[in-house]
Copies of this chain bind each other. A is one copy, B any other.
Amino acid sequence: MLIKRYISEGLSHYSYMIADMAQATIIDPRRDIQVYLDDAAEAGCHIDHVLETHRNEDYLIGSVELETATGAEIFHADSQWDYQYGMPVSDGQQWSVGRLKIKALHTPGHTPGSMSYVLHDPDGHPWILFSGDALFSGDAGRVDLLGEDRLQEMASMLYDSIFNKILPLGDGVILCPAHGAGSMCGSKIAERTWTTLGLERQLNPKLQVKSERKFIELHADMLDRPPYFRKMEMMNLEGPPILKWIPKLKPLLPETFSLGMENVQVVDTRDQIDFGAGHLPGSIALFMEKLPNFAGWFLNYDDPIRFVCDPRDAEAIVSIMIRIGFDRLSGYLKNGIVGWSLAGKRVASIETPSMDEFCTWVEGEKPIFPLDVRGKDEISDGGLTLGKNIPLTGIPESLDQIPKDRKVVPLCPRGNRSMLAASLLARAGWDDLAVPVGGLGAWKASGCDQSL
């Protein structure tokens, strides 16, 4: 018997394999499915079924990919929408996996057709709940995806799903949601990586309410919605294009890399200081760690993408990109920035002052424009006294609020999003930019943060 969780870093997406005897079921597979195939082969199992918890909006589902590779039957929730593949799940439907049983439980709220799946142990008792985006560790699923009009209605549904269907399964049941901390699908997911219904009942802030009304008050919020969600929703109804095998990012020498650059999106996944020190003009600083989160905000699906990256990250980059449907990946820059420079090509830079220096700016007369790119909910302290707050994802449409006559200094807790913001501004024509290394965090640690 094998119950295994697969974490897609960055998206914080969890998929699961349940295997027993010669059978296996996958819940919410991602698009790069080799890992499921390998584990199933290793365990001597055939993947019979793919169960989807809902029409996903934040990544491409790998169901059709798995069906192509294994012949597995796909069952999708949210069958009120127009799926081009698979079969609809109905509430109470059951499947066997060896000696185990899985039972569908209709738990709407995140979407109208959301399903949870209850895994019963060999003796037939509820053992593990795969809750999709209904209930997380420390949070509940967002209810705003159908728009503000239906916010209350969806929150009400979710209340019913959690309090009347999920929690009654019993405190001892293990909870396996579709996301961990860091996802866009719940705002406050806890770091409690393994959890149970009992722990959530006691500790989940969203469940500490006395009534449905209180729950709706607390939870019915409109949240940030990355532009690529629309694309994912559409493709997840159609069934994403079949990959069959994962492409490799090719190394491109500067001459090849620079061909047709006008239509290319250049993504630089290196650290903030590396980007600051030297980068390709027009490239975007989508540092590795947050690539899955911000690629969908700042890249379009039409133009090909080339990368400036550590070659050792090439494989991980491909995984990240295809999970969110960016398939037009044409390669990475061989020999990096130094090779680019050696080929006689122009290198741009963005100033990365040390904290010592930055402190003199803040204290002195240097007319800088601090640009606080944190999200509204990260600012608990009243924010900076100087400059302005424009959350990172709002920058493209707020360019007119940012001056060009002073040095613009994007700031965030660690400096990474600051450099991303700076790269967006540089591409849009700003040329006096600086990103202090380590951002607000380093600034606080430096002891000179009284005056901003």
Contacts and interface: CB of A to CB of B under 8 A. Distances in A.
Number of copies: 4
A438 interface: yes
A348 to B, nearest CB: 7
Nearest to A355: B341
A198 B352 CA distance: 54
A318 B337 CA distance: 26
A120 B445 CA distance: 29
Interface string A183-220: 00000001111111111111100000000000000000
A202 B125 contact: yes
A237 interface: no
A278 interface: yes
Interface in A400-446: 414-416, 437-438, 441-442, 445-446
Interface in A139-175: 170-174
Interface in A112-146: 121-123, 125, 127-128
Contacts of A245: 244-245
A251 B335 CA distance: 27
A221 interface: no
Interface string A344-364: 111111001011100000000
B341 A437 contact: yes
B203 A121 contact: yes
B347 A349 contact: no
A347 B437 contact: yes
26 contacts: A1-B191, A3-B193, A22-B334, A121-B203, A127-B199, A128-B194, A170-B171, A171-B171, A172-B196, A172-B197, A172-B198, A172-B201, A173-B196, A194-B194, A196-B196, A244-B244, A271-B337, A273-B274, A273-B278, A274-B274, A338-B442, A341-B355, A342-B438, A342-B442, A344-B446, A349-B352
